[in-house]
Chain A
Amino acid sequence: MLNVRVIAAAIALGFAAPALAETIHVGVTISTTGPAASLGVPQRNTIALLPKEVAGQAIEYTVLDDGADSTRAVANMRKLIEENHADIILGTSTTPASLAMLTVAAETKVPMVSMSASASIIAPMDAARRWVFKVPQNDSLMADAIAAHMAAASVKTVGFIGFNDAYGDGWAKEFTRAAGEKNITITASERYARADTSVTGQVLKLLASKPDAVLIAGSGTPAALPQKTLHERGYAGKYYQTHGVANNDFLRVGGKDVEGTILPAGPILVAAQLPDSNPIKPKALEYIAKYEAANGAGSVSTFGGHAYDATILFTAAVPEALKKGKPGTAEFRAALRDAMEAQKNLVMTHGIANMSETDHNGFDTRARVMVTIQNGAWKLLP
């Protein structure tokens, strides 16, 4: 009889205070399929490496794919919050989808850490963006770095060719501003599509404007095409790319054509070449070692590092948040947001973040290095 009562009580207790209240639920939505799959796949692989426990609390990750589709990203986020009781959302990989998720974060009061590039996700700060953090470097930081490098190399005129999408347009805008500040003239601004088989027309237009340097704003392997065509047509100026190409597949596809290209990137790309005094170096090497142990040598990409950084940010905030409330409660989520905003000198694989009420990215110039391609490998420029 007693036994029955004990069991009944246990069951009742079980229902009243479900065990999941003790677990921190992390909802992840990333683009493991679709046009941004080369960003989303390393991010998904990274999630598999993340700590399953922080400050004595179990962490459970639920990963969903949004295919870089804004509608699916929002649906995933609602599902993760309503069905999986997510305390925090990590994602997503692309800017348009991240922008669509903003309002859900504000409405449900669940903090979100985006892994996409555009500064528009966290600026200008408002009621919705209060709940949103972003770990990749702002485009503007990278555009400034390119413009500064060009000015130092006495480049006066630049031809621009970028993707015919949010990535290329964002760069066109940021770079026009950054170049203007350095008195660099943009002689031609062209667009091409990811799947184009030829960019001859655009390249002829670039060549006709006789620029000192060409900036190619594309991501991943398709960014090699304009450079190859420019080479074929005998362009002899400097080539600049953006950090969107910072993975080894670009080197593989680009081959000889991309030698000498200059680009800004997160320090993780050349982690081994950083001076030992750089606090980012051990963090980045730790991530690279973990990732390559699980996925094979040479498989790491900087994009996966953003997923790792997102976790560094939120796990750093967990101990503080636990003092304010239990996981699964509104208090915990609000405290998690507050604690993330209070992070200072937080070392990540891509930089060192100093969060503030107005800046939810927190990176400074330590979050980027200039890199060139030499003998088919990335080389840190002084």
Chain B
Amino acid sequence: MDASILLILAQDGIVNGAIYALLALSLVLVFAVTRVIYVAQGEFVAFGALTYAALTEGQTPGALWLLGGLGLAGLAAGLWQGRGDHTRASILRLLAETILLPAAIIAATLILAPLKPGLITAALLSLAIITPMSPLLYRIAFQPLADAPVLVLLITAVGLHLALTGLGLVFFGPEGYRAPPFSDAMITAGPLLLPGQAIWIIAIALALMLALYAFFEATLTGKALRATAVNRLGARLVGIPTEQAGLIAFALAGFIGALSGILIVPLTTLTYDSGFTIGLRGFTAAIIGGLGSYPGAVLAALLVGLTESFASFWASAFKEVIVFTAIIPVLLWRSLRHGPTEDDE
């Protein structure tokens, strides 16, 4: 172990940590606004990655039909949930969200995919395909349960994760995919070998974090989300539509998940079911950070990335054990510091 190995491992850990940080942020956001522990977040990583890989190869991604199906299910769920008090405007809005938007995206993809779009177009298109799935899932699975206990929401999220994994196998097949990187550039700095993709990952992660910060601090929607997170009932009393807040939180989570997938699929082979373990690391980071603090989650994610990187050098056979057991001392410390809390909402 010399200084150059130390640097290389640190670089690797920070790049991976940046992805975990994005996932951890979206998990904290969704939990704060809707109290859902979004286990299915990992699936969005895999779906985004596989859709992007398919598009760069000029194939029509299977995710399109999943989007169409979810749109129809979302329409049915919306009509059923609002039965009795639908107005013409609310039905039109529902139709636009569940049918018109997915149809437009599907049409655009069907036209663009055979043309083998450039990498940026493919990435944007993948984001457009995968992101709307998340709010649709919220509408279908979580909106009817908005007032259920956290445990029920967690069980629903696990069920959703299992269902999405199965659908992933149907729509993407069992084989793994890898996509070309955004840039082939390799920057050498001393012992460091900095691939262009790593720079892209860190830059996009930082930009996204700043954008989220600005969104929550400066925009009305962002403030409404924060208000919902602080006190659901209070937010509703002052006229914030909390269901709308849930939809936005899920859309952001879907966007971040798909983006993370697009960022890492040039680095490794992803299969339909590999999103879960990546999401789990984001979850570990979110828990270590306290599931309520955004900077805490980001720092914890970097810690997870670095732990993983160094563990893979010293004891690769026990890497997963080391990364995931890191959560136990943190939970112990937290419960000793804060004492047991009766959290039955």
Residues of chain A at the chain B interface (Cβ within 8 Å): 33-35, 37-38, 40-41, 161, 164, 190-202, 204-205, 208, 220-222, 224-225, 232-233, 247, 249, 253
A194 proximity list for chain B (CB < 8 A): 271, 274
CA distance A35 to B5 in the complex (A): 33
B317 proximity list for chain A (CB < 8 A): 164, 190-191
Kindly state whether residue B177 has any CB partner on chain A within 8 Å. yes
CA distance A199 to B317 in the complex (A): 12
- Give the contact stretch, choosing among B63-71, B138-146, B207-215, B308-316: B308-316
Given contacts A220-B175, A232-B193, are A33 and B169 in contact (CB under 8 A)? yes
CA distance A247 to B175 in the complex (A): 10
- Give the contact stretch, choosing among B218-226, B234-242, B262-270: B262-270
Tell me how far the C-beta of A288 lies from the nearest C-beta in chain B, rounded to whole angstroms: 18
Q: For the complex, count residues of B whose C-beta is within 8 A of A.
A: 39
Report 27 cross-chain contacts, Cβ distance below 8 Å, ordered by A residue. A35-B273, A37-B169, A38-B174, A38-B175, A40-B174, A164-B319, A191-B316, A195-B273, A197-B19, A198-B267, A198-B309, A198-B312, A199-B312, A200-B309, A200-B312, A201-B309, A202-B313, A202-B316, A204-B5, A208-B5, A221-B177, A221-B271, A222-B268, A222-B269, A224-B178, A232-B193, A253-B178
Kindly state whether residue B90 has any CB partner on chain A within 8 Å. no
Tell me how far the C-beta of B66 lies from the nearest C-beta in chain A, rounded to whole angstroms: 16
CA distance A228 to B276 in the complex (A): 23
Given contacts A195-B274, A253-B269, are A200 and B9 in contact (CB under 8 A)? yes
Kindly state whether residue B149 has any CB partner on chain A within 8 Å. no
B319 proximity list for chain A (CB < 8 A): 164, 191-193
Verify A201–B19 contact, CB threshold 8 A: no
Verify B312–A201 contact, CB threshold 8 A: yes
Task: Return the CB mask of B149-173 against A: 1 if under 8 Å, else 0.
Answer: 0000000000000000010010001
Interface residues in B65-106 (C-beta closer than 8 Å to A):
none
- The chain A residue with its CB closest to the CB of B272 is A37
Kindly state whether residue B41 has any CB partner on chain A within 8 Å. no
Contact for A197 among B175, B268, B316, CB less than 8 A: B268
Q: A201-B316, A253-B178 given. 9 additional CB < 8 A pairs?
A: A161-B316, A192-B319, A196-B312, A200-B9, A201-B314, A202-B313, A204-B8, A221-B178, A249-B175
Tell me how far the C-beta of B278 lies from the nearest C-beta in chain A, rounded to whole angstroms: 6
Tell me how far the C-beta of B197 lies from the nearest C-beta in chain A, rounded to whole angstroms: 11
Number of A-B pairs, beta carbon distance below 8 Å: 106
Kindly state whether residue B114 has any CB partner on chain A within 8 Å. no
A202 proximity list for chain B (CB < 8 A): 312-313, 316
Verify B174–A41 contact, CB threshold 8 A: yes
Verify B16–A198 contact, CB threshold 8 A: yes
- The chain B residue with its CB closest to the CB of A204 is B5
B9 proximity list for chain A (CB < 8 A): 200-201, 204
CA distance A40 to B274 in the complex (A): 17
Interface residues in B1-55 (C-beta closer than 8 Å to A):
5, 8-9, 12, 15-16, 19
Tell me how far the C-beta of B90 lies from the nearest C-beta in chain A, rounded to whole angstroms: 39
Given contacts A221-B178, A253-B178, are A204 and B320 in contact (CB under 8 A)? no
CA distance A160 to B75 in the complex (A): 53
B19 proximity list for chain A (CB < 8 A): 197
B290 proximity list for chain A (CB < 8 A): none
Verify B193–A197 contact, CB threshold 8 A: no
Verify B169–A195 contact, CB threshold 8 A: no
- The chain A residue with its CB closest to the CB of B314 is A201
Kindly state whether residue B292 has any CB partner on chain A within 8 Å. no
A38 proximity list for chain B (CB < 8 A): 174-176, 271
Tell me how far the C-beta of B59 lies from the nearest C-beta in chain A, rounded to whole angstroms: 12
Verify B193–A233 contact, CB threshold 8 A: yes
- By Cβ-Cβ distance, the 6 closest A-B pairs, closest first, are A201-B312, A37-B174, A221-B176, A201-B313, A195-B274, A200-B12
Tell me how far the C-beta of B253 lies from the nearest C-beta in chain A, rounded to whole angstroms: 20
- The chain A residue with its CB closest to the CB of B281 is A197
A221 proximity list for chain B (CB < 8 A): 175-178, 269, 271
